[in-house]
């Protein structure tokens, strides 16, 4: 018995050693594509379809914030990923630092299916580095059984009535950004007076906050853990889902305006599999696939055919496709350059002080 066990162990070890360098699949010639995406930001069945259609093996990892993705990509260098899906300001920063490879969009069959509205935006003027994936807003998700007043302003997050009943985002840019917005400043402000004021505000708010969260906020809001939460629009829709969500939840983009964001697919400059990466990006733009993803994660799609096929009530749903009025008041994050260090320190002072 003992001998059999040790024999098995040795076999396992040898097999393992052989597969050590590459991937776990036996054929070393299978191309491997490493994709790094936000948590809960894809219908994972899509990956299986891609693997089946192309024979490319996909390794799929997720991150929680743009900053953690950036740091991981930066520290890991060449051994990191092929495709990443960051947001606007981070795409600019990564492109400026030479971390991203140029994408020849003319080689993407389905690129024309992306609406021109979402192309050539400020963060990537000629779409040299990115292909739009999803877009959305940041807003307040609230539980109507606890909040009975109309929610129109970010200031409700400072209302003592909701002490220990508020979830804030544990995300530097988002949380400081909405505070700046509430104060009437740009959410890209690097003016120290503005930031000091925002810091004071966030400090005031701290005793009211139940927790600074990331993806887990969805579960918590569905189960009714808190009255108010700052969330991304798609997550809000997931939480409000009539089948497995909570029907008492509502989402609103406050009147002061908010953050309008775009996430787009990029290829890392060090990627050894640029061809496979292009295939993946093209695949993700395909109508059936983009529709699967949209149905699964509920974010707003830049893909024309998917949008057209949506039922009218979704197309006009102010949560998923907000009015131009709201969009006009909202801003896109800009890369802050050196000032981001001040933001980081400020955020540590808020959460850890």
Partner 1 sequence: MKRLIKITKGAYSALIFAFLYAPIAVLIIFSFNESKSRGSWGGFSLKWYESLLQNSEIMRSLFNTLLIAVLASLIATAIGTAAAIGINSMNKRIQNAFMNISYIPVLNADIVTGVSLLVLFLFLGIPLGRISLLLAHISFNIPYVILSVMPKLKQMNKHTYEAALDLGCSPLKALWKVVVPEIMPGVVTGAILAFTLSIDDFVISFFTTGAGVNTLSITIYSMVRRGVKPEINALSSIMFVVVLLLLVVVNIRSSKDVQKNNRHSSSNRSIGFR
Partner 2 sequence: MRKSRRLASLALPYGVYALIFILAPLLLILFYSLFYQGSQGFAFTLKHFLKFFDFSEPVYMKVLVRSVRIALVSTVICLIIGYPMAFILSRMNPRVRNIVSFLFVLPMWMNFLLRTYAWMTLLENTGVINSLLGSLGLPPINIMYTEGAVIFGNVYNFLPFMILPIYNVLIKIDKSVVEAAGDLGANFFKTFTKVIFPLSLPGVTSGITMTFMPAVTTFVISKLLGGGQNAQIGDLIERQFKSVGDWGFGSAMSVILMLIILVVAGFMNSYEKDKSAGGVLL
Residues binding partner 2 (CB under 8 A): 65, 67-68, 70-72, 74-75, 164, 170, 206, 209-213, 220, 223-226, 344, 348-349, 351-353
How far apart CA 294 and CA 304 sit, in angstroms, is: 12
Check residue 76 for interaction with partner 1 (CB under 8 A): yes
Q: Are 76 and 29 in contact (CB under 8 A)?
A: no
- Residue from 3, 4, 5, 20 touching partner 1 (CB under 8 A): that is 20
How far apart CA 275 and CA 266 sit, in angstroms, is: 13
| Among candidate residues 266, 223, 258, 220, the one with its CA nearest the CA of residue 84 | 266
Check residue 79 for interaction with partner 1 (CB under 8 A): yes
41 or 123, CB closer to partner 1?
41
CB of 223 to partner 2, least distance (A): 5
Residue 80 binding result from partner 1, partner 2, none, given CB thresholds of 5 to 8 Å by partner type: partner 1
Residue 70 binding result from partner 2, partner 1, none, given CB thresholds of 5 to 8 Å by partner type: partner 2
212 or 321, CB closer to partner 2?
212
Residues 230-269 that bind partner 1 (CB under 8 A): 244
Stretch binding partner 1 (CB under 8 A), from 72-80, 145-153, 204-212, 324-332: 72-80
Stretch binding partner 1 (CB under 8 A), from 17-25, 185-193, 288-296, 316-324: 17-25
Check residue 275 for interaction with partner 1 (CB under 8 A): no
- The phi-psi region of residue 40 (left if phi > 0; otherwise alpha if psi is between -120 and 50; otherwise beta) is left
Token digits of residue 314: 């979704």
CB of 225 to partner 1, least distance (A): 10
295 or 344, CB closer to partner 2?
344
The contact pattern for partner 1, residues 218-237, with x = CB under 8 A and - = no contact, is xx--xx--------------
| Among candidate residues 41, 264, 235, 266, the one with its CA nearest the CA of residue 133 | 264
Question: In terms of C-beta distances under 8 Å and separation of at least 24 residues, what long-range contacts does 49-57 make, across chains too?
Answer: 49/289, 50/280, 50/283, 50/289, 53/283, 54/276, 54/279, 54/283, 55/30, 55/31, 56/30, 56/31, 56/32, 56/276, 56/279, 56/280, 57/23, 57/25, 57/30, 57/31, 57/32, 57/33
- Residue 128: is it exposed, middle or buried by C-beta count within 10 angstroms (0-12/13-18/19+)? middle
82 or 282, CB closer to partner 1?
82
Distance of alpha carbon 144 from its chain centroid, rounded?
26
Residue 170 binding result from partner 2, partner 1, none, given CB thresholds of 5 to 8 Å by partner type: partner 2
Residue 346 binding result from partner 1, partner 2, none, given CB thresholds of 5 to 8 Å by partner type: none
How many residues touch partner 1 under the rule CB under 8 A: the total is 33
Check residue 16 for interaction with partner 1 (CB under 8 A): yes
**Strand 131-143 vs strand 57-63: parallel, antiparallel, or unpaired?**
unpaired
Strand partners, 304: none
Instruction: Collect all residues with Cβ–Cβ distance below 8 Å to 259 and sequence separation of at least 6.
Output: 137, 138, 173, 174, 177, 178, 181, 187, 330, 331, 332, 333
Residue 218 binding result from partner 1, partner 2, none, given CB thresholds of 5 to 8 Å by partner type: partner 1
How far apart CA 19 and CA 29 sit, in angstroms, is: 12
- CA Rg value for the chain: 22
CB of 205 to partner 1, least distance (A): 23
Residues 31-70 that bind partner 1 (CB under 8 A): 34, 36, 39-40, 44, 59-62, 64
Contact footprint for partner 1 (CB under 8 A): 9, 12-13, 16-17, 20-21, 24, 34, 36, 39-40, 44, 59-62, 64, 75-81, 214-216, 218-219, 222-223, 244
């Amino acid at each position: 018995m003992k001998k059999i066990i040790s024999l098995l162990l040795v076999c396992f070890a040898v097999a393992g050693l052989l597969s050590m360098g590459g991937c776990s699949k036996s054929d070393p010639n299978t191309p491997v594509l490493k994709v790094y995406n936000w948590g809960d930001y894809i219908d994972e069945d899509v990956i299986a379809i891609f693997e089946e259609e192309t024979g490319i093996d996909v390794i799929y990892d997720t991150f929680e914030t743009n900053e953690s993705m950036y740091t991981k990509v930066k520290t890991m260098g060449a051994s990191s990923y092929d495709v990443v899906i960051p947001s606007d300001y981070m795409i600019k920063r990564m492109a400026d630092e030479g971390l991203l490879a140029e994408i020849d969009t003319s080689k993407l069959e389905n690129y024309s299916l992306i609406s021109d509205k979402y192309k050539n935006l400020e963060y990537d003027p000629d779409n040299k580095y990115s292909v739009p994936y999803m877009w959305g807003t940041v807003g307040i998700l609230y539980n109507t059984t606890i909040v009975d007043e109309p929610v129109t302003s970010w200031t409700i997050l400072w209302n003592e009535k909701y002490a220990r009943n508020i979830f804030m985002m544990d995300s530097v840019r988002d949380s400081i950004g909405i505070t700046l917005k509430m104060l009437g400043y740009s959410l890209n402000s690097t003016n120290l007076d503005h930031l000091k004021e925002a810091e004071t505000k966030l400090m005031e708010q701290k005793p009211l906050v139940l927790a600074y969260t990331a993806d887990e906020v969805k579960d918590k809001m569905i189960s009714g853990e808190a009255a108010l939460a700052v969330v991304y629009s798609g997550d809000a829709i997931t939480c409000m889902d009539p089948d497995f969500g909570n029907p008492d939840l509502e989402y609103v983009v406050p009147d002061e305006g908010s953050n309008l964001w775009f996430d787009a697919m990029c290829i890392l400059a060090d990627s050894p599999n640029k061809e496979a990466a292009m295939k993946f990006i093209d695949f993700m733009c395909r109508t059936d696939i983009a529709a699967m993803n949209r149905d699964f994660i509920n974010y707003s799609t830049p893909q024309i055919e998917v949008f057209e096929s949506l039922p009218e009530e979704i197309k006009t749903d102010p949560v998923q496709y907000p009015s131009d009025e709201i969009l006009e008041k909202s801003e896109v994050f800009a890369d802050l350059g050196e000032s981001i260090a001040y933001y980081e320190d400020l955020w540590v002072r808020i959460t850890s002080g």
